[in-house]
Amino acid sequence: MAKKAILGQLNDVDIRRLRVFRSVTEAGGISAAELELNIGRSTISTHIKDLEIRLGVTLCQRGRSGFSLTDEGKHIYQATTRLLGSLDEFRADVNDLNQRLTGQLNIALFDKMVSNPKANISKAIKSFDQLAPEVTLSIHVESINEIERGVMEGEFQLGIIPGHRVSPSLKYHYLFDEKMFLYCGAGHPLFNCSTKETSKKAILSNNYAGLGYHSPNMEVGHQLGMKRSATVYDQEAIVHLLLSGCYLGYLPDHYAQSFVDQGMIKALAVEDFQYQCEFFAINRSSPKPSRLLNTFLECLIKAHK
């Protein structure tokens, strides 16, 4: 497909096609996007094909082998989320003038927070729903790096993450904390050892499962000299490795409690291997947050006081 040198002015039809493309990408295919878009497959396919012609690139592979984005498609998807996010912010700003809270709020959360009794996110959502019943919420669960990137690029208006580093491009609002313990499974050699027998040397000599992206988990692991024998990208994966009896790994105490109660895992009571995570709501430093975002932030902060 020949590439065009200049795209030219975007019009309403282009914006609609981009919204269809975003929905198809996030749904994982044309068939899966039918319900979300409330239009037929043939119409969706036409929108995608017309968008490819308009942009001069092939956006995705679709057929019996399944749906997948091309490299150009991945780039266009990221640009699309930024563009549509900016349009939503513009709509929210205009609605601010009319004192109406409408539009869509895109939020990204770190995983396994719901069992933390200190995390009152649902309480904040309830308060926000009472203040802004016309607003549509879109909530994603992502890794820390993806949340930071998405907020910086405008894909998400707000994220909630464990604090691990500070970016001048973001604003941070403290919400709550959680306690992290190092666990082993029932079949692990350290499971039946006493605290006295569980030395730092003994712990460091065992296989360790850690997160594979920058996070408090990664920072603490490096500080303690723990070398990853298995790399994971969410905390549920750590549980699977713990239950194998072959690995040690960190979990939040609230998330681990049900497995502890069943005798499936236990925390290693060595103080050096415990740490605390603080969680923050993050949003872009610039531009100025809309009244919609500020309202949700106020509900979050109030819910966690």
- Rounded to the nearest 10 degrees, what angle do helices 30-37 and 41-55 cross at? 110
Per-residue burial over 161-178, b = 16 or more CB atoms within 10 Å of its CB, e = otherwise: bbbbeeeeebbebebbeb
Q: Are 250 and 208 in contact (CB under 8 A)?
A: no
pLDDT band at 98 (very low <50, low <70, confident <90, very high): low
pLDDT of residue 242 exceeding 70, the answer is yes
Of 2.60.60.20, 1.10.10.10, 3.30.450.20, 1.10.1040.10, which CATH number belongs to 12-78?
1.10.10.10
Closest CA to 111 of 161, 65, 67, 74: 161
Residue 113 pLDDT: 95
Of 83, 266, 90, residue with least CA distance to 186: 266
| Distance, CA of 87 to CA of 79 (rounded, Å) | 12
pTM of the model: 0.70
Q: What CATH code would you report for 81-176+279-303?
A: 3.40.190.10
pLDDT at 64: 74
How confident is the model over 126-144, as pLDDT tens digits? 999 999 999 999 999 999 9
Stated length of the chain: 305
pLDDT in tens, 152-195: 888 899 999 999 888 888 999 999 999 999 999 999 999 998 87
Token duo for residue 183: 């666990």
Three-state DSSP class for residue 197: coil
Which pLDDT does position 210 carry in this prediction?
94
Q: Which residues, at least 6 apart from 6, have a Cβ–Cβ distance to it below 8 Å?
A: none
- The ranges assigned to domains in the chain are 12-78, 81-176+279-303, 177-277
Q: Is the pLDDT of residue 45 over 80?
A: yes
Q: Is 13:54 a contact under the CB 8 Å cutoff? A: no
Neighbouring C-beta atoms of residue 252, cutoff 10 Å = 18
Q: Residue 2 pLDDT more than 70?
A: no
Asked if residues 189 and 210 have their Cβ atoms less than 8 Å apart, the reply is no
CA 224 to CA 24: how far, in whole Å? Answer: 44
Is residue 85 predicted with pLDDT exceeding 90? no
How many helices (H) does the chain have, and how many strands (E)?
11, 11
- Fold match between 81-176+279-303 and 177-277? yes
Residue 46 vs residues 7, 17, 21, 150, 256: alpha-carbon distances, Å? 19, 9, 11, 29, 48
Cα separation, 185 vs 77, whole angstroms:
41
Mean pLDDT, residues 251-264: 97
Mean pLDDT, range 287-294, rounded to an integer: 87
Contact (CB, 8 A) for 104 and 138: yes
pLDDT at 5: 45
Residue 257 — pLDDT band, cuts 50, 70, 90?
very high
Q: What is the pLDDT of residue 182?
A: 96
Tell which residue, 43, 48, 97, 87, has the closest CA to residue 69: 48
CATH topology of domain 177-277: D-Maltodextrin-Binding Protein; domain 2 (3.40.190)
